[in-house]
Structure 1
């Protein structure tokens, strides 16, 4: 067996998000978030479940960090709950919220685990949503104030910063399609929200750079490699459109100071015109240190006249699917890494990659062989990308533990740690032991 050995300082980690694991939704002075409001709306979430308790990480973080150390994690990516710090989104600071993250960061550093902080993973303070949320340009300014405070508190303790997680999902699932908080259905609004999210990102990057901190700052974008159903000219154009819409819409303004032309033309054709100030793009394109990508699956697309907006449809691939219904396609990770590095020449982190399966706890164990296979194949593609010239710095599994999976509630398990939601007992799955070995050996057998 050939051993695929990763670079010496490669960061092996796992990822979580505040609303999905913390619980304590209204404790110790925390303000209401859009996800608190949305998940308390009847019919919004699977079986009307919510994140009120989630994994109770707010009270059990010490135990959770101990488990991270047992697995041997080099890094842990987590998000800060904005309304836990600023209950009203701005103004008055909640010291108990600040203290929680301070204790968590110190505990991670004690165990030699690098904290990687995401400033915003979708839980906007409801007080700001009441003023328009991401449809309100001022929210970008408030985000910058919040970010500046967090940098001031933790900038010297934390080496890796991510401004936003998946702005595409927040903008379109939250504001266009209504599947996520705040549950709005306004396509034009989604593009406005997306622009204001990018503006918030740029302002936070500027604040970080001006603060002279020692770490690195970037953004995390969800990506899917896109392939044509046939090699017809129409299907190849559909690939270009899908790639521009889902992958590039939030990347091009950062690196190229403009939105992808192909989507801009579609917007104009559909009488959706936007007059974003040109000076915004100077802020949005503030230089970042890395690009974070979340990869789970690919898209196969074909031309489709009946889709009046993008003019395409998605085709189901032939491979096995995860519990989310997502096709398993590891080669897509390699392909997208090669494409993004070729186009933007920037260090990359895989900030999420993983799979949901119907895990069963039997005799105190969880044998999740399918997840192990999924991780193994994707880690191999990450290695091949490095071998072929991509400056890939780290790999974070989604997720550290089973948690509240947004609109799916607790019906989907992504964790390498099993959570019994009735007792809050944590059990390392076989995939956690697999990952422990990968980390120890800094590599994997081909």
Structure 2
């Protein structure tokens, strides 16, 4: 292995509209669930920083795109704000059109390919009031929104994704209190997941029926599930975790069908998903062109509490591997080999579909402790994290996995839901008081790798 990546390999970063843009209540944008939640309960948010300003990309995108060019990006993934483009669901906001067209045009002019995502957790508040993803009407609204986005920006964008991490709003909103509606209800979770998938395939159908040029996919956060032991009960726990958190979306979007085990789970939980046979045909006929994979950590599990457990505890429980490397700031395990195992799984079980690493990164709290005398963050930990993951990714590619790019999370330190700016992920540091930007040491390392299209022998 010569450390070189294939010609045309994509190097860049991922971001999202609600976490980067700011201008949360300006320029015609409608209210999202996050705008509402911060207004209603700011104490829920770390240091009470809301989604109004975030990283101010709306006003500083020209400077930021120049910085992307300076650190070797040839691609960048962001999202359109549904509530900005269609504030009332029907009327197109001209200020949003101007803004996004300016961004996509400027990216193109600087040699940075746009990968544009339609939904990144930012449900319009007006639809939340109607039930959000539990309401079939939201599916039709999303399909209309997707159609408008394709028509409005299709001359500038030829690579689209429908959803970022669709399992997360299901898990965090219906099995946790980290997203709205913040309930624990497996039946409601299953309904929300199904209607999200239906919205995804209907958007793909609209894209293809309209004859748009380019490709369309989805971005899934894949968490390889490892059992505590080889005992059958632990291996069964890993099977259930993989089914619910990976295969529940991965199988239908790539293979066009749900896993057979999903029917078993729904029967065990007495959940009746309101599907129609015509919709199952739609899922079968509208598989993705490519897959984006977000990878941060594995999922380690042990046998659940059969008969006495509540919710998913009946099927599996978390397990802390004694040998795990842990990011102490985030509490997540760092397991670089997981990316290699994902690459082989895609190769062997998912028709070796073209895919790319859509997010990979490490969040660190208190990065000011790593500032040198010149004010530059010496984030060697981030360099090590990226390099170690890239070496395992490259091994998977050498063994035949069809990966075409690597994006870090993220470009500039950004706002992150209830955690806000607690953990910093950016290649560029953001000063919250002044909104000024400063490249970290990792930005220079990333440029070296991206421009040379190869990993260094050493740093």
TM-score category of the 2 structures, normalised to the smaller one = over 0.9
Which of 319, 322, 325 does residue 320 from structure 1 map onto? 325
**Which residues in structure 2 correspond to 1:296-445 (within 5 Å)?**
296-305=296-305, 306-310=308-312, 311-317=315-321, 318-322=323-327, 323-345=329-351, 346-358=353-365, 359-360=367-368, 361-363=371-373, 364-445=375-456
**Which residues in structure 2 correspond to 1:1-40 (within 5 Å)?**
3-40=2-39
What is the CA-CA distance between 1:34 and the residue it aligns to? 1.1
Q: Structure 1 unaligned segments of length 5 or more: list them.
A: none
Partner secondary structure for residue 241 of structure 1: helix
Match of 1:82 in 2: 82
Match of 2:174 in 1: 175
**Which residues in structure 2 correspond to 1:22-421 (within 5 Å)?**
22-42=21-41, 43-88=43-88, 90-285=89-284, 286-305=286-305, 306-310=308-312, 311-317=315-321, 318-322=323-327, 323-345=329-351, 346-358=353-365, 359-360=367-368, 361-363=371-373, 364-421=375-432
Q: 1:392-426: CA deviations, max 9, x gaps?
A: 01111001111111121211101111101111111
CA distance 1:7–1:419, shift in 2 (3 Å): same
TM-score, normalisation: structure 1: 0.96
What is the CA-CA distance between 1:228 and the residue it aligns to? 1.4
> Following the alignment from structure 1 to structure 2, what is the Cα–Cα distance between the partners of residues 176 and 264?
20
> Following the alignment from structure 1 to structure 2, what is the Cα–Cα distance between the partners of residues 303 and 184?
24
TM-score, normalisation: structure 2: 0.94
Q: Tell whether the 8 Å contact from 2:218 to 2:291 is kept in structure 1 after alignment.
A: yes
> Following the alignment from structure 2 to structure 1, what is the Cα–Cα distance between the partners of residues 229 and 379?
35
RMSD in angstroms over aligned alpha carbons?
1.5
What is the CA-CA distance between 1:156 and the residue it aligns to? 2.3
**110-119 or 147-156: bigger deviation:** 147-156
Q: Tell whether the 8 Å contact from 2:61 to 2:103 is kept in structure 1 after alignment.
A: yes
CA distance 1:141–1:275, shift in 2 (3 Å): closer
What is the CA-CA distance between 1:264 and the residue it aligns to? 3.1
What is the CA-CA distance between 1:249 and the residue it aligns to? 0.5
> Following the alignment from structure 1 to structure 2, what is the Cα–Cα distance between the partners of residues 328 and 133?
34
Q: Tell whether the 8 Å contact from 1:12 to 1:395 is kept in structure 2 after alignment.
A: yes
What is the CA-CA distance between 1:98 and the residue it aligns to? 1.1
> Following the alignment from structure 2 to structure 1, what is the Cα–Cα distance between the partners of residues 383 and 326?
14
Q: 1:185-229: CA deviations, max 9, x gaps?
A: 433111111111111110111111122222110001111111111
Q: 1:76-118: CA deviations, max 9, x gaps?
A: 0000100000112x21111001111001011101101001000
CA distance 1:309–1:260, shift in 2 (3 Å): farther
What is the CA-CA distance between 1:35 and the residue it aligns to? 1.4
Q: Tell whether the 8 Å contact from 1:177 to 1:186 is kept in structure 2 after alignment.
A: no
Q: Structure 2 unaligned segments of length 5 or more: list them.
A: none
What is the CA-CA distance between 1:167 and the residue it aligns to? 0.6
Q: Tell whether the 8 Å contact from 2:101 to 2:156 is kept in structure 1 after alignment.
A: no
Partner secondary structure for residue 395 of structure 1: strand
Give the total of aligned pairs.
444
Q: Tell whether the 8 Å contact from 2:256 to 2:287 is kept in structure 1 after alignment.
A: no
> Following the alignment from structure 1 to structure 2, what is the Cα–Cα distance between the partners of residues 342 and 307?
34
> Following the alignment from structure 1 to structure 2, what is the Cα–Cα distance between the partners of residues 179 and 418?
26
